[in-house]
Chains A and B, each alone.
Chain A
Amino acid sequence: MAKPIRIKDHLNDAGIVQRRIILAVLFILLLAFGLLARMYWLQVVQYEHHSTLSENNRVHVQPVPPARGRIHDRNGVVLAENRPSFSLSITRERTTDLDATIELLRELLQLGDDDIEQLRRRLQQARRPFEAVPVMFNLTEEQIARIAVNQFRLPGIDVQASFVRHYPQAEHFAHSVGYVGRINEREQERIDPVAYAGTHYIGKTGVERFYEDLLHGKVGYEEVETNARGRVLRVLKRTEPVSGRDLTLHLDSDLQAVAEQALGNRRGAVVAIEPKSGGVLAFVSQPAFNPNLFVTGISHADYGALRDSLDQPLFNRVLRGLYPPGSTIKQIVALAGLDYGVTTRTARVYDPGFYQLPNNSHKYRNWNRYGDGWVDMKLAMARSNDTYFYDLAHKLGIDRMHEFMSQFGLGSRVSLDMFEETAGLMPSREWKRASRRQPWYPGETLITGIGQGYMLTTPLQLAQSTALIANRGVWKRPRMLMTADGLPPDEEDTPPDVVLKNPDDWDFIIKTMEEVMHGERGTSRAAAAGAPYRMAGKTGTAQVVAIAQGARYDSEALKERHRDHALFVGFAPLDDPQIAVAVMVENGESGGRVAAPVARALFDAWLLEPEPSPETDDPEADNVMEEAP
């Protein structure tokens, strides 16, 4: 029966479609009536409402910016807050003659050409129709009065009270907390224009930048009715903005002050980390700058002075300063030697004052030109003996050193929430081939073993690797944020913990670091003298200028800025580490003499409770042994 009823089907089909068409007509009439009813509602029933709004007045939606979250240190000391300030804003649609109005402002407020140029630049900012654009901030009482008196000549000009970010601690937290500034064109493209309607500031650096999303809050809005001249007559509807989250940081202002004091007026960086939490307790990059200058826009002169200063106050030394770590990574090299079994705790190496590779006449010098004789690992650490570590590095080889030391975060970004951090460099064969198109030379392995050569680290990485040793391999990424409205930050991408084949090696290596501080021949024993607790540490120096083969290092002859950087890493107390510190003093020359006392000051301040820590010069300071690359 191959479709004998096709004709019948066809008629049936036509019937089906016809019934559906009738249904469709009914639906269409119903919906069209619905549309007409809606129009009737808007145009007849609500006509009065809409026509008043449109004829004499205008409805218009104003964003209400949220209050930016405040930032506190761990004890509740305010690091960033919002202060009321009066600003002058221009609504271009309401001005009759913009140029004339600006001229009048120049006259009234005695503005210079720079101010006018800045004002015009701010006017360029993207905005909605009838949106007021703030162009001058922090008006004085007198300026406000002058504008008020001349208000009738200044259509479209308003004085508005608004909140402006303020950093009460000024330069003390400039590098850690960072600052906010006016949203620039590039940021304009990145942000959600709705979320930032009404907001004129955005985090530029530091915590302000990293936690921008938490700090910013949610925009509110007002539906307002304005008269023909643009004055707001009444608020029709208001939805409150939601303030940004308040952040509590791990930072401790008191400890920060101690660190800055201990560093004195030297250039350098100090980072203190609580090993258990990874919280950054102190974060010093000296010299610093006053972040308040940047908030409403820094003047050309001020910025030029900061930018061109030889001391580089804008440079974040903790996160972006790349220094050869020098001897401060020797404990990690020693751990690698034990873990790979290329040496033992007691194996000894003879140090005649230098090391030579087989079949090579080049002498790799120990800092002590006369040599330390037979040294084992403990003595090598205490004396920071270079020959021992040349030998150890040679036995390890660069591949194993790269693999092992990378686990400590060297050569990668370690922080959880620090925006500016750079990765540094942990060199490897592959890296050298890729970046320099050269093979790796054995001599380069040796100097990597004492933290010289290509290797570059930030002070933060040094502090982190030290905290990792204090934690016996358990990773906690360094972080600024303790809580945001009671919530801790999310742990992200935590690197795998460092697991040693023999976990006792942790204790042994910490013992060798204790020897540095408390041992008879320790390079830093002066800094540890008289402490009521035990500490572990390692000194280091980083060359600024390469020393020619055979030449003698003569600090007197070098210009101050060519002197070595002094480094120190350490933690305390030994039995239950509470604080790990990395100190870098630019051109400080001696890790033991210059950097270690800074760390000691921090240890004392953090561990010895109510007693304030008077950083007195230790009488034994003169006995400190000199120590070199």
Chain B
Amino acid sequence: MKPLAGISPPDSRGLRREPWWMRLHVDPWLLLLVLVLAGVAGFVLYSASSKSMAMVYRQGAHYAIGLAAMICVAQFKPRLMERWLPPAYLISVFLLLLVLLVGTEAKGAQRWIRIPGLITFQPSEIMKLVMPMSVAWYLGRREMPPRFKHVCVCLLIILVPVVLILKQPDLGTTLLIAASGLFGLLLAGLRWRYILGSILLLVPGAAAMWFFVMHGYQKQRVLTFLNPESDPLGAGWNIIQSKAAIGSGGVFGKGWLQGTQSHLDFLPEGHTDFIIAVLAEEFGLVGVALLLFVYLLIIARGLYITHHAQESFSKLLAGSITLTFFVYVFVNIGMVSGLLPVVGVPLPLISYGGTSLITLLVGFGILMSIHTHRKWMTQR
């Protein structure tokens, strides 16, 4: 009998002796890595916001709330989450519908629900957590790999909220939520013939849309989206400037607070979605590589937790949360460096902003809960 990794065997009296972090339901590695990134975020934000200490404090407050939420969520057993899931999914979908009907509009998108005098919140953020749970809940109690019927139901579970969020419109969030659902399916061992089949269906489908359905102006919009540099006064403006900022950083960067491109108002959104450009300009390739390394450590820890999770639900949930985290990183850095189209995805744990930060940390809280609520059992 080999003990589970990280968990000490029962002591001589046969009583369960768990390490301190197990009892607090906190994963020290994840916590440490998050705190490292919080520190990095503070420094980069200070520079990106033109030395605004107020902004750093505010983001600090966001972090405090997020960490508290994370630790709270980690106290709940995954079983409990599983039990409350169906109503949680339905309520989230209902809230998404409500947003489209009575939501508050800002910057041309309708994303918020405002309860006057109380709070303003984004139901799509809740969906970011509920979506991977729903897929894990559904697939976790069925045989793997999922059968065709189950795949279809799963796609429906994913599609309903995705369509609702796409209508807001919020492309970035849609992408993240769709990804988190699909990762559940992929981790559950979705058969290769389905994966290849859907790719084979998508390509001619898209081609048919292009040639028979779309109008000229819609095509133009898609082209601009795929290649923003064709529209340098509009969408391409940010990319041209962020590329210049990143490129001028070189290997070692210009040094903290020494960036020029990002400080000349050339770079819009410099402290939110485009903050990596500031980091790349001031800390160079070395800084970016180190940041990427920290991200990969977080992902490694997440996959480790996934591997050691003991129930299908926990495994699928931990896996899709971790992989979605990587999507954040990849899409954000990819778009700022001009590899990918511009969609509104923040750089996780670094970009300024409370909402997505708190959601991310609650996600980590779920990972911690999964890891620290394992039953005492052995593995052959």
Interface residues of A (CB under 8 A from B): 9-10, 12-14, 16-21, 24-25, 28, 31-32, 34-36, 38-40, 42-44, 46-47, 49-51, 53-55, 58-59, 61, 63, 128-129, 194, 197, 219, 221, 223
Contact = CB atoms under 8 A, between A and B. Distances in A.
A194 B247 contact: no
B189 to A, nearest CB: 4
B157 to A, nearest CB: 19
Contact of B306 (A10, A17, A44): A17
Contact of B251 (A18, A36, A43): A43
A54 B330 contact: no
| Interface secondary structure of B, over-half rule | helix
Contacts of B264: 58, 129
Interface in B167-202: 186-189
Interface stretch (B281-289, B355-363, B368-376): B281-289
B60 interface: no
B4 interface: no
Interface in B224-263: 231-234, 237, 240-241, 243-251, 260-261
B107 to A, nearest CB: 14
B337 interface: yes
A19 B144 CA distance: 13
13 contacts: A14-B315, A17-B315, A20-B319, A24-B303, A31-B330, A32-B292, A34-B339, A42-B243, A51-B247, A54-B260, A59-B241, A63-B233, A197-B233
Contacts of A46: 247
A192 B270 CA distance: 24
Interface in B329-378: 329-330, 333-334, 337, 339
Q: Which of A18, A32, A129 has its CB near the most chain B CB atoms (within 10 A)? A: A32
Contacts of B307: 18, 21
A50 B285 contact: no
B286 to A, nearest CB: 9
Of the listed residues A35, A36, A40, A46, the one surrounded by the most CB atoms of chain B closer than 10 A to its CB is A35
Interface residues of B, number: 52
B187 to A, nearest CB: 5
Nearest to A62: B233
A17 B316 contact: yes
Nearest to A223: B232
B221 to A, nearest CB: 12
B145 interface: yes
A11 B251 CA distance: 47
Interface in B288-303: 288-289, 292, 295-296, 299, 303
B43 interface: no
Contacts of A219: 233
Contacts of A16: 144-145, 188-189
B326 A54 contact: no
Nearest to A129: B265
Given A55-B248, A58-B264, A58-B266, 6 more contacts: A16-B189, A17-B189, A20-B188, A43-B249, A49-B247, A51-B247
Contact of B288 (A13, A39, A197, A221): A39
B190 to A, nearest CB: 9
Interface in B129-155: 143-145
Nearest to A29: B296
B75 interface: no
A619 B337 CA distance: 86
B304 to A, nearest CB: 9
User: Which 4 pairs show the lowest CB-CB distances between chains A and B?
Assistant: A50-B247, A54-B248, A16-B189, A194-B234
Contacts of A10: 312
B306 A21 contact: yes
A40 B233 contact: no
A44 B252 CA distance: 10
Contacts of B158: none
Nearest to A43: B285
Contact of A36 (B234, B245, B292): B292
Contacts of A34: 339
A44 B144 CA distance: 46
A193 to B, nearest CB: 8
Nearest to A194: B234
A264 B214 CA distance: 56
Nearest to B139: A13
A235 to B, nearest CB: 13
A59 B244 contact: yes
A22 to B, nearest CB: 9
Nearest to B245: A54
A49 B244 CA distance: 9
Contacts of B189: 13, 16-17, 19-20
A553 to B, nearest CB: 60
A35 B292 contact: yes
A244 B28 CA distance: 64
Contact of B330 (A24, A35, A63): A35
B126 interface: no
